[in-house]
Chains A and B, each alone.
Chain A
Amino acid sequence: MVRSNVKRVGFSALLLAAASTSGCGKPVNALGHGATTEPKVTVLLSDKAAAATDAGATGGSATIAGYGTFKGRVVVEGAFSPLPPLLAQGAPTKDAVCSEKAVPDESVVVGSNNGLANVFIYLKKVPGGEIPPPPTEPGVIDQIGCKFVPHAAVFRVGQPLLFKNDDPVAHNTSFSPQNSGKFNQAVSPKDRAGLEYKYAKAESAPVRAQCDFHSWMGSYHLPLNHPWGVVTAEDGSFEIKGVPGTTVEFVIWHEKAQYINRGLKVTIPVDGVIEQEVKVDAAKLAAK
C-alpha cells in the first residue's frame, strides 16, 4: 500500500564519469533474485508481437539509439542499529520448528559500507524500443525456517511465480496486488513443486506477501512488464544493464522508507555506464 504521507527523501546524486564497458548495450532478461546474481545476457529480440504484448509499458515512441548500464549503490546516511530478530531462537510459538533458528528482521538490512539491501530500483516507464519477452523459467519464493527466501525480488508479468515450502509445517501464502487477482492459499509442508501464480499486469510498487499462519512472515516482490528492475545486494549495490539509451525515470522503493524516489531521472549513455549513489536518511528507516 502506497502511503500518502511519504516524504521525499533527500538524496544527493553523484554523477560519475561514464565508462565504456563490455557487456553494455544489450537488454537483459528479467531476473528473479535481484542483482546478486550475474545477469544472463541475451541478444535483443526483434519479435514485434512479443513487444506488443507488453505494449502497456511503453511510454513513448522515442527511437532508441542503443543501450547502456545504470549502476550504483544505495547507502544509509547516519547510524542504524541492527534490528532484533522477529522471532528469537527457541522462542515459544505455534510451530516449534519456526524458532529452531532465530528469524531475522529483514525489513532493514544494512550491509558493508552502510549499503542498504532489498531496495527496489526499477524503470517507471519504458521510453520506447523493444521489450524482451518474459522468461519461461519460473521465479521462486521459498519458505525456509518460517521465513521467505528471498526477502525481496523482481519478476516479469507472465513469468510463472512459484511459492514453495521447505518447512515441515504448512504455510499460508497470501498477497493482494492492486492490479492482478488475489492469492491466498495454504502451502503444504515440504511442497517443493510449489504453488504457481502468474501476474496479469504490472504493479507500480512492490507487493507484500505474507503468511497468515505465522504473523511475522513477510516479503516483497514486484512484477514488472519490462526487464529493467533489480533489488540491491547486501552491500547496497545494483546494476541494470541494457537500459534504453535515453533519459529514463527510475523508481527507488524500500519497504520501510517506501518511495525513496518516485522518478529519478537518469540519462543513460549509449554503450556506456552511468553510476549513481542514492542516500537514505537512517531516520526514515527507523519508522514503525
Chain B
Amino acid sequence: MPATEQIWRPLPTMHRIFAWSALILLAATFLMMAMDEARDWRSYQTKADRLKVEQLESQLKPYSSAEYKQAEAEKIAAVDSAKKQLEEPKVRDRIAELEQKRRGLQGQVDLVSRQAKFKNAERDVARANFDLDVRDMKSPTVLTSKLDEFGSQAELATENALKLQGIQAELRLVKDELAEIYAERTAAETELTKFRGDRTRLYEQLYKLSPNHNLLPDELRSSFAAAKRSVKEWPIINGFNPHHAIQYDWPKDLEIQLGMARVSRVDRCRSCHVNINDFAAGNTASFPKDKYHEPFTSHPNPELYLSDTSPHSINKFGCTICHDGDGSGTSFQAAEHTPKDPAQAEEWAEKYGWHSNHFWEYPMQSSQFVESSCLKCHHSVVELGINAKYGATAPKVFEGYELIKTYGCFGCHEINGYDGTRPIGPDLRLEPNSAAELAAIEADPNAPPPGNLRKVGPSLRHVGSKVAPNFISYWTEDPQRFRPSTKMPKFFHLDNQEDHLANVLQPVELAAIEAYLTSKSEAIELQSPAEGYQPDAERGKIAFQRRGCLACHSRDEEELKDIKSDFGPNITNIHEKLKPGPDGFRWLYTWLKNPELYHPRTRMPNLFLNVETVGGQPVDPAADIAAYLMLGGPKEFPKQPVGGPSLGLVYDKDFTQKKADSLRAQHRGVLVSDVLQTGAASRALTLDVNGKPPVDGTGKVKSDFERLAPVKRDDIVLEFNGQAVTSNEQLNQLAASAGAGKRVTLKLFSDGLERLVEVRISTPLEDLTRLFLSKSLPDTAEVDRALDSRRYDYKVPAYAYQPKPDGTSWSFREWVKGDEIELVARSQDEQVDDATWTKRQLEYVGRRTISRYGCYACHDVPGFEDAKPIGTALQDWGRKDTSKLAPEHILEFLHHHGEPDGSSTHKRIETIVKRSTYDKDVSDADSAAAAYFQSLEHHGRPGFIWQKLRAPRSYDYRKTESKGWDERLRMPKFPVNEKQIDAIATFVLGLVNDPPAPAYQYRPTGPAKDRIEGERLVDKYNCTGCHILEMPSLTYKASLKDLIGASKDELAAWFIANSAKIETGAITQEALAGRGDAEAILPEEMRTPLATFITNGEALLAGQLPQGVDPKTGLAKYLAGLARRGGGQPLREFLNSHPEALVADALPPADHPDALRLMLKLKPGVSGLKGKAGKDGLALIQAHGLITATPDPEEVDPELRTYALDVWQTLDLAGRLKLPGSKVNVVESAIVSKSNGRGGDLAHWLVGQLKDELQDLNKSWQASPPPLYKEGIKVQTPWLFRFLKNPEQLRYTTVLRMPRFNMSDAEAQTLANYFAAVDEVEYPYQSIPQQEPQYLVSVEEQFKSAHAGVMDSFEMQAWKTLNGPLCVKCHQVGGRPYKSTDPKDIRGPNLERVEKRLQGDWTRVWIYKPTWFTPYTSMPVNFPADKPPFADLFGGSSKEQVEAVVFSLMNYSRILEKLGVVAYEPPPPPGQTPPAGTTSGGQE
C-alpha cells in the first residue's frame, strides 16, 4: 500500500521493518541473556556446589559405619537408662511432687513480682508527692503526713520484696533438687547431642545443596525442595532471589585511587573463588590446594587470613587490598590476574584469552610478589619475618628488608616511612649526623621521628692511622679481591668502565680517593700495652677463640671452619692491610681495647679485654690477640697507575698499509684510534699553514672557541713539533717529555688533508680537574684561569685571605660551597708549586669522586657531615611511573651479554620459557628470572630493578659514547645473588606510599611493639651470635604410650569406666598406686601410668582437695566421684586445673610439690605433639632443649645410634607433662628433623671446643654464653637495663664476659623490655614480695607461732640458713669471701646481686630445684623435701629453709647491715663429734 495522506510510509514496509526490528531485538535480548548465563562465575558456582556435595558425601561416610551406629546406640541407651531411672516409683513420685511444688512456687513468684512492681510504683508516687510538696513549701503538717504516707508505702514495698526473696529461695531449692535428679539424663542427652553434632551439621549443609540426597535421613529428604531448587536455577527465574549470585565484599574505609578520585573498594572475587573462605573446624582449609584447583580452593593459612578469627578476616579486608587487581571484575581478564611467568602467560592466553592490560594501575600481584602488599600495613616489617604466633608469614619481603639493612641501600636511597608525620610505609633512614641535627628534629612538631639506622661501613675519619699505603685505592678498586666475603659493593671496572677513557681516569679517581681520605684523616691517640710487655700470639689465638670475637668474625683456618659468623668481616688477612710495623699493631690494640675511640658509632662492642694476672704474670689479652692477628705481617699494595703528561689519544696498534690506503693516506705516522673525551687532543686548536694561530678579517688572532679543532678518530699524526712521528711509543714519549702545560704543534693527516694543530699537553688528573671545574665555573676561560693560576678563587673576595677584624680567619665556605674548596689558595699571594698543586688536584678529584659515588652513605667521611643521599628515594618506588624508568639499550645488552660468564641472558630466558612451556620443569629461580625478563621487555618496574641489581651499569650500554664521563651511571654492583635480588625487589615493589586507613595499619603497642623493636635490636647487636634465643629441637616419631604411659584423656576415660569399682572398693588406692594387688586393674598397660599418676597425686595434691579429703587415703574415691558425674566432665576439669598431678615420670622424694606448682605457673606446659599418631601408632613429637648426645660415629648398631636432649621447656604430651630437665632419648632412625633453634652459634662451637678440655658437657655449657631462654621470668627488667648499658661480671665459670655495646638508653630499655614481653610477664617493674616490709611482719608472726620457744628471730634463722656450710661452698656470701684452692673449683655468682637482679618466684624455684631452669647447672638441690640439710633451723623444714634463703637473698644488703657476718655451723648429728681440724668454709 502506497503512502497516503493518513500515512507517511507504506504500511507493509513499516510492518516488515517493525517485524524485523522486533526479531532483532528479541534475538539481541536472547543473546544478552545467553551471554549472561554463560558468565564464568555461574559455572564455577555450579561446579563448586557439586564439589561440596561430593565432599559432604565422603565426610558422611564414616557415620554409616557399624562402629558409629553402635556408639550411637550406646549413647541412646544411656539416655534411655537415665530416663528409666527417673521412672522408678520413688523417684517419679518425688519428681511429681517437686514439679508441682515448682509450678506452685513459680506462679507465686510471678504474682508477687508483679505485685512488687505495683508496690514499688506506689512508693515512688508517695515519694514524688512528698518532693512536690517540699518544692511548693507546703506546711509542716502536710509534709509530715506526706512523709508518713511515703513511710507506710515504703514499708509495704519492702515487705513485698522480702516475701518475693523468700519464695524465690524456695523455688531455687526445688529447681536444684530437680536438676540433681535430672543430672544424669541431662548429661546423657548432652553427650548424645554432642556426639551427633558433627553429623547434624553435615546433614544441614547437604540439605541446602541437595535436599533430596539419598544420604540424608528420610525425615529430612524433600523432593519438593530439590525441585524448587532446580527451578530457581532456570534462566530468568534465577534473577529472583537466586542462590547463585555475584558475591560482594565492601571493606569499610579501604579506599582505592582510581584516576583522580579515591573511591570505596568493592571486591567481587568470591563470585568465582567460591570456596576461598570455606574452612573446616580447627581453621583448616576445606578445599586444600593439593586436592583442588583454582578457583575452588580455600585460602591457605586460615589462621592468618580470611577466617573470622584471623587478623585478616575477609569481611574486614576483602581481597584486593592485599592481592591488587580489579576487584569489580567478574571474568578472568577483568580481574586483572597476573601470570607468574611467561609460560603461564601463554597458557592463560590460550585458556582464558588473557592479555596484559597496561591501563589498569594495580595489576594483581603475581605469586612472586604477593608478599609485597604486606608492607602497606606492616610498616615495622619485623613481625612478617619473626613472629612467635604465626611464624614467618612473609619471609621473602623480610629477607629483602634485612638485605637492605645489611648492604645499607638506604644510605643512598632514602626510604622515608613518613609523609610529614603521617606514617606511609617502612622507615629506613640514617640516624642524624650530629646531636644538633637530632635536637632540631626532635624540636620540630612537623618533623617525623629521626631515623635510627647507622651507616653500615666503618668510619673513615681516622683511616690514616689504620691502613697500609695504597691499601685504600687497592681495596676500593675491587673489595672482593682482598676479602671475598665483603659486603662492600664494587664501583670500578664495571660494564660502563671498560673503555680507554675509563682505563685512564679510574686510576686517577682511586688514587684521588686515597689522597683525600689520608689527607683529611684526623689523628687519634693510640694506646699501647704496658712497657716491656711481650704479646704472645699463641695465647692470643686462644683468647680470640674464647673471648667472643667469633660471634661476629670468621677466619679461614682449619680449626675455625665451622664458624660461619658474618656479622663482622672475615679477618683472615687483616694483618696485610694494617700499617706495617708498630703503628699497625698499636692501632689494632687500641681498636680491640676500645673500639668506640676509633668509631663512636661502631657495632663492635667493648669486650673488656683488661689486663689480668695469670700465675703472677700480667696478661694483656688485647695485645695477645693483636699479636695473633698480625701474624703474617704487612703486605705491599701497588700504586694506582696514574698516567702522566699525554695528548689524550689512543693509537692504532696495528697501523697497516691497507688501513692507510683505505684512508687515502701515505703509510707513515701513527693512526689515532680514539680521542679521549677529556684529553688534551680533544681541546686542540687549529694553526695556519705556517704554524701560527689564524687571524680573523681584522688581523686579530681568533679566539680559542673559534679555533677549536679537536683531533679526530682516524686522523694520522705525522709530526710532533716538527719532528716526524714514527711509532706510537715514540709519540707517547715525546708528549711525556714535553711535560704538562706545554703547547705543542702536531701535523695531522685528517680527512684527506694535512693540517696543523696546537695541543696543550695535560695529565689525566688535570683533565679530570678541568672536567669537574667546568661544571662549577661559568665558562672555559674561567677554568683555564683557575688551572693556570693554580687556585680556585671564583667570587672569592680579596679580603677573604686576610684575618677578620677580630683576628679569626674567614671561612671560604661562604663563597665556595662545593668541593672546589680543596683548590682554594691558602693566601692571596701563595705560590703553588707543582707538588702542592698535584696534591690539591688529587684531593679535589678525590672529594668529587666521593661525592659522586656517595661513599659517605655508608662511611663517616670527614668533610661530608651534611651531605645528602645521592640516590632516588624509594618510599614510593613500587608505584613509580614506568615512563620515568630509563631502560635505554638494556634489551640490546641482554641480547648479547648479561650472564656472569658473558653469555646472552636473552638466550637463557628463551630456553627457560621453552622448558617451562613444554616440559613444565623449571626451578622457581628460573621461573622468576623469566618473569623479570618479561617485565623488563614491557618496561616494568620488577624487570628494571632486577637488572639494576644484577648489573647496575648495564643501562649505560652504548650510552657511554654519547655521555660525559661524569654523567655515567654510578650505582655500584653489590655482591648479591639472584635469590637475594628477588627478595630486595619484592621489598622495594612493596614501597607504594599508599597506606590504608590507620585502623588497618599494624601499629602494635605495649608488649607486641616491644617485641618488634626488641627483635630489631637483637639483630642490630647480633645477640644471637652468642646467645641461644630459641632452644634447639628434635622432632621425632615415638609411641606416646612408651613415653608417657597414658594421656590425660586415657586416664580420664579409665576413671570414668572404673569409677564404680573404685567406689565399691574392688580397686583400692593402694592397688592403683602400685602398692597392692593390681589384678583388678585392666587393661594391664594402664597399671604403670595409673601408679605414677596416683603416687604423684598423693604427694602433689595435699591441700588441693576439698576439706576432708586426704590425698593419701581418699584420692582414688574422690576422683571416682568426679568421674561418675556429668559424663566425667568434673574429672576432666579437675585434671585441667591440676596439671601438677599429670607429671609423666615418678616424682623424686626430694622434689617439693609447691615448687612444682610454682614452676608450672612460670613455665606452663607447651604442647610437644606436632602430629597425631599415624598408622604405625607413632606420634610426631617436638622437644626443645640442648642436645647432649649425637650418635657415636663409630657405632654401627642402629639401635645404639641415639640422640639425647635435655628438655628445657615443660613438655605437654597429650596432657601428661615431661618436666624441664628430663631426658629425651631417640634412636637416629626415628628423628624426623633437627633444628639448631635460634642463635648461639658461638656457644655451640665453644662448647664443642671446651668439652675435650673440661671432659664434661655441663661444665662446657657453664663456660659458654648462656641461652636466654625464659630470661623474662628470671631477671628484673630494671636490672637488665643497667646490665645492658654496663655489663658487670656475673659468672666466674665462663671463659668470656658479656661485652659492652654501644647502646643508647632507649635501646637498652627496649631490649630489657623485650625479654619480659617475650615471656609475657609484667614489666618494666616487677614486685618482689619478699622485699615488702609487710612480708617480714607476716613471716615473723608465722615463725613465732610455728616455732614457739626458738630464741632466734625469723630474720636471724633465715640469715643463718643462707650462711650455713652450703651456699658458701661455691659463693661469696654474707661478707665472707669465696675461697678456692683449685682452679677447677666451681665459683657461683656473687649473691649480693640477687636482690636487684632476680625475680622472687624464679629464685624460689631455682633454690628448690635448679635443673628445672638450667639443666646443665652445677647448683645442686640443697634443700631436698625429704632431707632437710639443717635439722635445727625452722624445725627442720626444708621448705621453710628454702623460703628463708630466698628471703635472705632478696634482703641481702639490708640484713648484712643489720645482722653482720654470721657464720652458721649446724650442730653435729647426735653421737657424732666433728673430727679435729674439720672446718667448713663458713668458719675460715
Contact = CB atoms under 8 A, between A and B. Distances in A.
Interface of A: 1-4, 6, 91-97, 100, 124-125, 168-170, 172-174, 176-182, 184-186, 188-191, 195-197, 200-201, 204, 208, 210, 212-213, 215-216, 259, 262, 288
Contact of B1421 (A185, A200, A210): A185
A172 B1420 contact: yes
B1189 interface: yes
A173 B1472 CA distance: 23
Contacts of A91: 1381
Nearest to A205: B1192
A184 B1469 contact: no
Given A100-B1477, A182-B1223, 4 more contacts: A176-B1188, A185-B1150, A200-B1145, A204-B1195
Contacts of B1381: 91-94
6 residue pairs, one from A and one from B, having the closest CB atoms: A215-B1384, A212-B1418, A172-B1420, A97-B1478, A178-B1204, A185-B1421
Nearest to B1415: A182
A111 to B, nearest CB: 24
B1160 interface: no
A182 B1480 CA distance: 27
Contacts, number: 138
Nearest to B1419: A184
Contacts of B108: none
Contact of B1225 (A125, A178, A288): A178
B230 interface: no
Nearest to B1251: A1
A186 B1365 CA distance: 11
B1479 A195 contact: no
Nearest to B1205: A178
B1202 interface: yes
Contact of A94 (B1192, B1202, B1366, B1369): B1369
B1240 interface: no
Nearest to B1422: A186
A215 B1380 CA distance: 10
Contacts of A169: 1365, 1478, 1480
A182 B1411 contact: yes
A94 B1477 contact: no
Contacts of B1206: 176, 182
B1382 interface: yes
B1221 interface: yes
Interface string B489-529: 00000000000000000000000000000000000000000
B1429 interface: yes
28 contacts: A2-B1192, A3-B1252, A91-B1381, A92-B1381, A93-B1382, A95-B1480, A97-B1477, A97-B1478, A170-B1369, A176-B1257, A176-B1258, A176-B1416, A179-B1223, A181-B1221, A181-B1223, A182-B1221, A184-B1417, A184-B1421, A185-B1421, A185-B1424, A186-B1366, A188-B1429, A189-B1469, A195-B1424, A197-B1148, A208-B1255, A262-B1194, A288-B1255
Per DSSP, chain A at the interface is loop
B1189 A178 contact: yes
Q: For A170, A184, A288, which residue has the most chain B Cβ atoms within 10 angstroms?
A: A184
B1300 to A, nearest CB: 30
Given A1-B1257, A179-B1225, A190-B1472, A168 B1478 contact: yes
A124 B1193 CA distance: 17
Contacts of B1416: 176
Interface string B1182-1213: 00000011001111010110101010000000
Nearest to A192: B1469
A216 B1255 CA distance: 13
Interface string B1375-1394: 00001111011100000000
B1475 interface: yes
A97 B1418 CA distance: 22
A119 B642 CA distance: 75
A35 to B, nearest CB: 24
A179 B1222 CA distance: 9
B1382 A184 contact: no
Given A6-B1194, A96-B1479, A185 B1225 contact: no
Q: For A91, A182, A262, which residue has the most chain B Cβ atoms within 10 angstroms?
A: A182
Interface in B1393-1448: 1410-1411, 1415-1422, 1424, 1427, 1429
Contacts of B1474: 168
Contacts of A201: 1225
Contact of A186 (B1252, B1429, B1480): B1429
Nearest to A215: B1384
Nearest to A249: B1197
Contacts of A216: 1382, 1384
Given A6-B1194, A180-B1223, A186 B1421 contact: yes
Given A4-B1192, A189-B1469, A184 B1410 contact: yes
B1193 A4 contact: yes
B1468 interface: yes
Contacts of A259: 1194
Contacts of B1369: 94, 170, 172, 213
Contacts of B1257: 1, 176
Contacts of B327: none
A100 to B, nearest CB: 7
Q: For B1369, B1411, B1472, B1474, which residue has the most chain A Cβ atoms within 10 angstroms?
A: B1369
A284 to B, nearest CB: 15
B1200 A204 contact: yes
A170 B1427 CA distance: 13
B1481 A94 contact: yes
Contacts of A189: 1468-1469
Nearest to B1484: A94
B1220 to A, nearest CB: 11
B1370 interface: yes
B1452 to A, nearest CB: 21
Contact of B1385 (A94, A168, A170): A94
Contacts of B899: none
A100 B1474 CA distance: 13
A174 B1420 contact: yes
Contacts of A96: 1477-1479
A184 B1411 CA distance: 8
Interface in B1247-1265: 1251-1252, 1255-1258
A91 B1382 CA distance: 11
B1256 A215 contact: no
Interface in B139-198: none
A288 B1254 CA distance: 10
A170 B1468 contact: no
Q: For B1252, B1381, B1386, B1474, which residue has the most chain A Cβ atoms within 10 angstroms?
A: B1381
Contact of B1418 (A3, A170, A174, A195): A174
A100 B1255 CA distance: 27
A179 B1379 CA distance: 36
Given A190-B1469, A262-B1194, A178 B1202 contact: yes
A1 B1248 CA distance: 12
Nearest to B1253: A288
A95 B1481 contact: yes
A124 B1199 CA distance: 11
Contacts of A178: 1188-1189, 1202, 1204, 1223, 1225
Contacts of B1417: 184
A3 B1252 CA distance: 8
Nearest to B1384: A215
Contacts of A174: 1258, 1418, 1420
A185 B1420 CA distance: 5
Interface string B536-575: 0000000000000000000000000000000000000000
B1468 A212 contact: no
A49 to B, nearest CB: 10
B1222 to A, nearest CB: 5
Interface in B1213-1230: 1221-1223, 1225
